[in-house]
Amino acid sequence: AQSVTQLGSHVSVSEGALVLLRCNYSSSVPPYLFWYVQYPNQGLQLLLKYTSAATLVKGINGFEAEFKKSETSFHLTKPSAHMSDAAEYFCAVSEGQAGTALIFGKGTTLSVSS
Amino acid sequence: DGGITQSPKYLFRKEGQNVTLSCEQNLNHDAMYWYRQDPGQGLRLIYYSQIVNDFQKGDIAEGYSVSREKKESFPLTVTSAQKNPTAFYLCASSASGGDNQPQHFGDGTRLSIL
């Protein structure tokens, strides 16, 4: 079965600092991977997705993620944090069949201080 | 604009009462999903449906029921058998045709016990 592990339930950075949110997955087949962001009391918004076209994926709001098969990782980064980036971030993997549900990590809360 | 509408935003349940959460989408998506979110646990799948008049149990289906009579609608009933229903409930949908299709989320319903 596929699974997702997000290392660190809470990450704190200063405004302007590098953001690094870690995600490792397990899968017996080539996975499809996603990062979502959630602001308080709202639904999830797609940041970016990996679908095997390119290992470095660029998303919205300046975020990007790199797929590393050898490390089974899909870490999310942003060069310079902004106060508006404070939110909860979820990594998710597809089970591999059309129309089936995603498997989510437990989430990482990002705090940004001025 | 196309999207997913969940209602109500807040819902209160009395002991022994069934309550129904509404989810409507106008994205013309075939697949729809219900997730439960608890603090620190990420999103857990309750039910999903890949096509009208068909649905499958997810990881935590006990105490919940769904129907899919129309493509646009996927209501979730929280029955009195669900002993710990207090949570944030998220509905999502995705297009068919491949497991790289991202899921689109509604803004959620927060259910509490009176």
Q: Do A106 and B40 touch (CB under 8 A)?
A: yes
**Cβ neighbours of A105 in B, within 8 Å:** 42
Residue B99 has pLDDT above 90, yes or no: no
Mutate to test the interface with A, among B51, B99, B110 (most CBs of A within 10 A): B99
What's the pLDDT at B1? 64
What φ, ψ does residue A97 adopt, rounded to 5°?
Answer: -125, 145
- Radius of gyration for chain B, computed over Cα atoms and rounded to the nearest angstrom: 13
pLDDT by residue (tens digit) across B25-59?
999 999 999 999 998 888 999 999 989 999 999 99
More confident: B1 or B15? B15
Amino acid code (one letter) for B67 = S
CA distances from A87 to A61, B20, B36, B38, B66 (A): 13, 29, 18, 16, 30
pLDDT in tens, A29-73: 778 899 999 998 899 999 999 887 788 999 999 999 999 999 999
Task: Return residues 12-51 of B near A (CB < 8 Å).
Answer: 30-31, 33, 35, 40-45, 48, 50-51
Residues B76-96, buried b or exposed e (16+ Cβ, 10 A)? Answer: bebeeebeebebbbbbbbbbe
